[in-house]
Chain A
Amino acid sequence: MNIRRYFGEHVFPPLIGIGLFIIVWMILAQSSEALPGPLKTWDSAVALFSDPFYNHGPNDQGIGWNILNSLGRVGVGFGLAALVGIPLGFIIGRIEFIDKMSSPIISMLRPVSPLAWLPIGLLVFKAANPAAIWVIFISSIWPMIINTAMGVRQLPQDYLNVARVLNLSEWKIFTKILFPATLPYMLTGIRLAIGTAWLVIVAAEMLTGGVGIGFWVWDEWNNLNVEHIIIAIFIVGIVGLLLEMMLVRLAKRFSY
């Protein structure tokens, strides 16, 4: 491969994009007193990341702890959602009666903003942390149910015929045909779910408080530390991107 061409096609365009973004940001920062420019933000980020894991009590912890705490909440909420949502998706996809039974409820609840579930979580769990996890759970369960069920429904008739001709047991059908055939759909559901979960955690934490990137943003807003707010936006974006890339890579391994 021609190195010059590679750079021209894959490296150069994104660099120009980032460059333009920074220039626009600089111009905007020049004309507004409140908005810090890229350089100021960069200096602040270097300072912030020089000591990411300090711990000065529950209200003052390093940025690393905040990120890890948010990731932890997303992991637990998302994991629980997978534990419930994926089997539910299989059942809904496999049994038409249950599909029809659950479809109006899912259609109605799915478009509800995840944050609307927060008061219910606070009410039931009487604590902020489980309530935030509950919001993640409820926001990430829908894509997993829906995509898993779709994968099961779209199982090619050919494979089912093979199962019938070979007289496979239900367990073999599940492990050798249904599960592997549905896996790519499931991974799509997981990807969408983790995207939503990461999207929602910031908002949820703003409301619940505690250690986490969302509350950190709110805290910095109260301190009027605008650089940190901008840094937080980048952090959320980059972590989201990394999660997405991880899952895309995983999905590639299981595409046939």
Chain B
Amino acid sequence: MKKYVNVENVQMSFDTRKGVFVALKDVNLSIARGEFITLIGHSGCGKSTLLNLIAGLLIPTDGILLCADREIAGPGPDRGVVFQNHSLLPWLTCFDNVHLAVERVFGATEDKVQLKIRTQDALALVHLTHAEQKYPHEISGGMKQRVGIARALAMQPKVLLMDEPFGALDALTRAHLQDELMKIVAKTNSTVIMVTHDVDEAVLLSDRIVMMTNGPAATIGEILEVDLPRPRNRLALANDARYHGLRGAVLEFLYQKQAKQAA
């Protein structure tokens, strides 16, 4: 299978006041087109750093990152990012927030009507047509996150990068958005890389779970294939032995092999 995103021997260190801090070391990862990957690990393990590297927000100290055979040298519209804290611009309506992204990617080739339709389609995909003209402070946290997803998807990125997108939401909203995300990904056939620290979320959504060792100098510890058939249903999975087996494997990695020392 053709690899779509390639991470080769990547190392990332930061200059801090106390000297050089090596966040990631020897990271190798290949992701196929249409794959749903989650990065999981304890906080401080560099999973967000890895995501930011793929996004191009950070440039690796060593090694190389490729997306569709091209080196990642900076952020680009081929990689849509959903931020943990949604990062919507508070002075723009939901429509304008999404339109800003659409305009940038398609503004040169399409006319105003087409851009408007694209924006509306993206918001319809996350079921927010009714909130188009609302400002971010007028809608709930879950809705903001959906606008963030719509903004990223509207650019028709090759890869969707999500940094703990549901981390700040309550459990019910989170479950609802996970289901919605699964449907959207099935419909759009997106390639997704998602950072999470929620074991259930990882097993439910992923094709493969990339488990990272503790930092400093964190790297990929194990990669777990999740071969549960799609579409997945959280209720059916609740009584599925394979689901529990996979969940157990992740938990074992996190709390036994990579157990955090009590601070």
Contact = CB atoms under 8 A, between A and B. Distances in A.
A and B: bona fide binding partners: yes
A181 B91 CA distance: 8
A165 B77 CA distance: 7
Interface string B79-114: 111010101011110000000110010000000000
A162 B137 contact: no
Contacts of B81: 161, 165
B103 to A, nearest CB: 8
Given A164-B75, A165-B81, A167-B75, A176 B57 contact: no
Nearest to B84: A158
A180 B57 contact: no
B76 interface: yes
Contacts of A169: 104
A162 B75 CA distance: 10
Nearest to B76: A167
B76 A162 contact: no
Of the four ranges (under 10, 10 to 19, 20 to 34, 35 or more), the interface on chain A belongs to 10 to 19
B77 A166 contact: yes
A180 B104 contact: no
Contact of B90 (A165, A167, A172, A256): A256
Of the four ranges (under 10, 10 to 19, 20 to 34, 35 or more), the interface on chain B belongs to 20 to 34
A229 to B, nearest CB: 47
A164 B77 contact: no
Contact of A162 (B56, B74, B77, B87): B87
A224 interface: no
Contact of B104 (A158, A161, A168): A168
A169 to B, nearest CB: 8
Contacts of B80: 165
A159 interface: yes
Contacts of A168: 100, 104
Given A166-B101, A172-B100, A172-B104, A177 B55 contact: no
Contacts of A162: 83, 87, 89
A158 B83 contact: yes
B138 to A, nearest CB: 11
A168 B155 CA distance: 13
A256 B87 CA distance: 13
Interface string A151-179: 00000001101101111110010001100
Contacts of A167: 75-77, 104
Contacts of B77: 166-167
B57 A164 contact: yes
Contacts of B91: 180-181, 256
Nearest to A161: B57
A172 B89 CA distance: 13
Contacts of A158: 83, 85, 87
Contacts of A177: 89
Contacts of B92: 176
A161 B74 CA distance: 11
Contacts of A164: 56-57, 74-75
A81 to B, nearest CB: 25
Interface of B: 55-57, 74-77, 79-81, 83, 85, 87, 89-92, 100-101, 104, 137, 155
23 contacts: A158-B83, A158-B85, A159-B87, A159-B89, A161-B57, A161-B81, A161-B87, A162-B89, A164-B56, A164-B74, A164-B75, A165-B55, A165-B75, A166-B104, A166-B155, A167-B75, A167-B104, A168-B104, A176-B92, A176-B100, A180-B91, A181-B91, A256-B91
Given A162-B89, A166-B100, A172-B104, 13 more contacts: A158-B83, A159-B87, A161-B87, A162-B83, A165-B57, A165-B75, A165-B80, A165-B81, A166-B155, A168-B104, A172-B100, A180-B89, A180-B91
